[in-house]
Amino acid sequence: MKHLPAEAIFVENLEKRFGAFQAVSKISFSVAKGEIFGFLGPNGSGKSTTIRMLC
């Protein structure tokens, strides 16, 4: 039987630029299977951009 990883999502040093503008800067996180996870932050902080990169 194979051992499955505990994380459903693992992200390390994720970055996104639009020209000279850095929308996401070295974000790292993991989400365990069955865990409820959310992003909190002010407008323009890169929450939606991060989610779009993962989809």
The span from the CA of 46 to the CA of 21, in Å, is 11
pLDDT level of residue 2 (50, 70, 90 thresholds):
low
pLDDT digit string (tens) for 31-48?
Answer: 999 999 999 999 999 999
Please say if the pLDDT value at position 1 is more than 70: no
Can you tell me the mean pLDDT for 19-24? 95
Q: Using alpha carbons only, give the angle 54, 9, 30 rounded to the nearest 5 degrees.
A: 110
pLDDT level of residue 3 (50, 70, 90 thresholds):
low
Beta bridge partners of 9: 31
Strands 21-32, 7-18: pairing is antiparallel
